[in-house]
Structure 1
Amino acid sequence: MKTIKYIKGDATVPQAKGIKIIVHVCNNLGGWGKGFVLAISKRWSEPEKSYREWHRNRAKNDFELGAVQIIKVSDYLHVGNMIAQQGMKTGSKGVPIRYEAVQKCLEKVGLEAQKLNASIHMPRIGCGLAGGKWDKIEPIIIDTLIQKNIDVFVYDFE
């Protein structure tokens, strides 16, 4: 069975051949301006533009926890906006990350990766501003992507 490949480097510069999908966690409030999204916006304008439009038209679409938006940014590269964060602040219900939503999102990303024959690339999703714990995220990645024989690369930025 495959395993998660851990790499020191920048998740916005994926280290693999073929088609790649970079995934990251977004909040369900339409906010884009802190964390890994800034690195994405530095490289491509489409993911932020698509996310903001998706949020603006949320009454007519699937913008909610567990939803995913895959944006093609070049011939071999896509960015996956995954809504898996309830709000932006820790409150009475705990940290913003929602593990059930991470699972739903990664299941959808896995299907897309299989269709495209793509590898998946990410920072330690949900563990920055969203407040998640990697020991809870990693098993979700194994269940949703590794079990489907999809190559997964996790980047630790230096």
Structure 2
Amino acid sequence: MSMIHLMVFGGKMIRYITGDILNSNEDIIVQQVNCQNVMGSGLAKAIYTKWPVVKTEYHKYCNKFTTPYDLMGKVQYVSIGDGRYVANIFAQLNYGRCHHICYTSYSHFETCLRSIADRCQSKTIAIPHGIGCGLANGKWEIVSDLIHLYLDNLDVVIYQKQ
């Protein structure tokens, strides 16, 4: 892994590095998920391939809610062992392959980040570069601004794949 650059806020640090988030050592790995009880591609597939419990618990959690929309803005923490968790953030109601549709809800993404900031103050956090921007078609400029706005006082590492 190589460091790209650092941004220091309030004594904590947001670091940008090149590396594989699946090999990270942080306490929390954050990923955006849809609310349709479908997990099958992108980073989600890589995560559940390494930690199958993430997909199992995601399905159980989705089934607890009456409608998919009821999941929006929620954060589900799934233990992957050794005191580490995957945080599934529900900021995407639907999914699809239409490149002209932004599936990321920035307002719900913001709600999820606020929740993480409140709950994970003493934890280290790994976030994939481009979260909510790949298959979900969000804009990284908006997403990264929200990350810096809400998580600037936490220890965060943003991973960019090589």
Report the TM-score range of the alignment, normalised by the length of the smaller protein.
Answer: 0.7 to 0.9
Partner of 2:123: 118
Pick the aligned partner of 2:44 from 37, 44, 58.
37
Structure 1 residue 71 corresponds to structure 2 residue 75: no
Which structure 1 residue ranges, 4+ long, deviate > 4 Å from structure 2? Answer: 60-63
CA contact (8 A) 2:36 2:68 kept: no
* Identity score, percent: 30
Structure 1 residue 155 corresponds to structure 2 residue 155: no
Instruction: Output aligned runs, 1:72-91, within 5 Å.
Output: 72-89=79-96
Partner of 1:9: 19
Aligned residue identity for 1:13: N
The 1:60/1:134 distance shift into structure 2, 3 A limit, reads closer
How much does 1:15 deviate? Answer: 4.3
- Answer 1 or 2: which has greater strand percent: 2
The 1:80/1:156 distance shift into structure 2, 3 A limit, reads same
- Structure 1: tracts of 5 or more residues without a match: none
Size of the aligned set, in residue pairs, is 150
The 1:136/1:63 distance shift into structure 2, 3 A limit, reads same
How high is the TM-score relative to the length of structure 1? 0.86
- Structure 2: tracts of 5 or more residues without a match: 1-8
Distance (Å, rounded) in 1 between the aligned partners of 2:67 and 2:87 = 20
The 1:85/1:61 distance shift into structure 2, 3 A limit, reads closer
Q: Which has the higher contact order (CA 8 A, sep 6+)?
A: 1
How high is the TM-score relative to the length of structure 2? 0.84
Distance (Å, rounded) in 2 between the aligned partners of 1:108 and 1:11 = 21
